[in-house]
Chain A
């Protein structure tokens, strides 16, 4: 029998004390132990990107990290994007540009784009397309996702 571990996960600035098996993936801990179900689980082997979250500002696949590895890290999920009733510019842009249809992949795309735009607000079109190819979307055909992220980037840069 392998002992569970007590640890504190910091999700969107809030501390969650959890007791998990070492094999518990970060995405399972975020959803089931912290109750933050906005982060979706798709393939569970790092291909689809639905579970993308920010760890200390960098987008990572949370199905490829164990919860025990995230202790002390700043974890940001889709729940942390809006400020009260005010949506994040990326969320607003996804609505305005029809950047989602079924919505399953959207939390992953939002966190991927947030991490990249915070690091590189003036990202080129070519690099942006390369980054957005990281995640799978089976509805939109990507065009409107690219458009939405472009629109949000313009708004975020103007608002700086």
Chain B
């Protein structure tokens, strides 16, 4: 239960961090942010990184600010920052509603938003948020900076488009229009456990019917994603039981669920439908 030996680096600037990462990437150098997923994995020796690049001392990565129509979340912004709305309007309230589902309080004081996205556990709440809202991930390396769309970023269980020498410096979320409604529902066996299924939905109302619906499901497939078929089932219809059940059924038909020893694929499919319906009911309430 003790991590294997590693070399420790504590850069003070983003440039220093990516230069260090470039040097150590070949020896399985990893970025250490909150450490709430990486350190347990190291304790189990499922990961034995040769180097850790600790970014906690990089002040520029603590930035959490609105840039035009986006909320920029720096790599060292911790989950606990979202307990109270960080921005007026539905986005701040949505993030405050979701954060309460992430593990437990002492994990949220250390773990980071970007760390969760880079780790890409299928059951990560922030990954579901990133997928639902089409977040933009900013990846920086010693050779340049690129922006990656959520739909291209998540590539499977704990697998992303990030290269080994890239640091996820920032995630950008769109500021949601003031009349956006949202709902988030997740199911797990005990409070704070990894979710077996979760759904995040948003939509606006135009002349009494649903417009711009977004339906994303997490914890069900290897990576979270928007379910187009469910969104089509909602668009242009009045919010209510008929539309919500159609959307939930569309989710059930569209997903290819994970299957493991304790949770079968068919059970997860049922859960995916239920969490979608409940998230939609929440949004309409």
Binding site for B on A (CB under 8 A): 2, 5, 21-23, 25, 28, 44-46, 49, 52, 58-61, 63-66, 68-69, 112, 116, 130-131, 133-135
B→A interface (CB under 8 Å): 1-8, 10, 35-36, 39-40, 43-44, 52, 54, 56, 80, 100, 104-107, 109-110, 191-192
- Which residues of A are found within 8 Å of B104, using beta-carbon distances? 49, 131, 133-135
Chain B residues, Cβ within 8 Å of A60: 106, 109-110
Selected contact of A64 from candidates B2, B8, B39, B44, CB within 8 Å: B39
Cα distance, A60 to B107, chains bound together (Å): 7
Q: With A46-B107, A59-B106, A60-B110 as known contacts, state yes or no: A66 contacts B2, CB within 8 Å.
A: no
Instruction: Please name 15 pairs of A and B residues whose Cβ atoms are closer than 8 Å in the assembled complex, sorted by A.
Output: A23-B2, A23-B3, A25-B39, A28-B2, A45-B39, A45-B40, A49-B106, A52-B106, A58-B80, A59-B105, A59-B109, A68-B54, A69-B54, A133-B191, A135-B104
Contacting A65 at CB < 8 Å: which of B5, B35, B44, B191? B35
Contact of B6 among A23, A59, A61, A131 (CB under 8 A): A23
Q: Is the CB of B8 within 8 A of A61?
A: no
Residue of chain B at shortest CB distance from A134: B104
* B110 touches which of A23, A28, A64, A68 (Cβ 8 Å): A64
Instruction: Please tell me if the beta carbons of B109 and A58 are within 8 angstroms of each other in the complex.
Output: yes
Determine the residue in chain A with the shortest Cβ distance to B190: A133
**Contact partners of A21 in chain B: CB under 8 A:** 5
Determine if B6 and A22 form an interchain contact, defined as CB atoms under 8 angstroms apart. Answer: yes
The answer on a CB contact under 8 Å between A5 and B39 is no
CB B16 to nearest CB in A, in angstroms, measures 17
Chain B residues lying within 8 Å of A116, measured Cβ to Cβ, are: 105
How far apart sit A59 and B191, CA to CA, in the bound complex (Å)?
19
The answer to whether B35 touches A2 (Cβ under 8 A) is: no
Q: Write the chain A residue with the least CB distance to B57.
A: A69
Which residue on B lies nearest to A1, using beta carbons? B5
Task: Please state if B107 and A130 are interface contacts (CB–CB under 8 Å).
Answer: no
Q: Quick one: closest B residue to A45, CB to CB?
A: B40
- Give B67 Cβ to nearest chain A Cβ, in Å: 28
A21, A28, A66, most chain B CB atoms within 10 A: A66
Closest-CB distance, B53 to chain A (whole angstroms): 12
Closest residue on chain A to residue B38 by CB atoms? A64
> Cβ of A130 and Cβ of B2 under 8 Å apart?
no
